[in-house]
Amino acid sequence: MPKTGIFLAALALALTACSKNETEDSRANLTERQKDSLIARSPIPGAKAVQKALNTADSATARQARIDSAQQNP
C-alpha cells in the first residue's frame, strides 16, 4: 500500500505541474475529496485503488456515525 500512496502523490504533483492556469483556478475550488474522486474515475494506473480508499473511508464514516448516534440515544 505505501507504494500506491507514493505513486498517487507523484501523479498528483505531475498533473498539477502540467496544468494550464485556467484549469488551476477551477481546481483550486475543489475539495480534496473531489480531486480524489476525479482521479478515481480516470483511466490511470492506480485509480481503482483510489476508489477503494474512498469507499473504505465512506464506510468508516458511516459506521462511526451509527456508533455515535447509538451512544447518544441509549
One digit per residue, pLDDT tens: the chain, 74 residues?
467 777 777 777 777 766 655 555 666 789 999 999 999 999 999 999 999 999 999 999 999 999 988 888 76
DSSP SS3 for 63 = helix
* Domain range list for the chain: 2-72
Rg of the chain, C-alpha, whole Å: 16
* Cell numbers linked to 31: 475539495
Q: In angstroms, what CA-CA distances link 6 with 10, 37, 66?
A: 6, 17, 33
Burial of 53 (0-12, 13-18, 19+ CB in 10 A): middle
Describe the crossing of helices 2-17 and 47-72 by its angle, rounded to 10 degrees. 110
pTM for the full model? Answer: 0.56
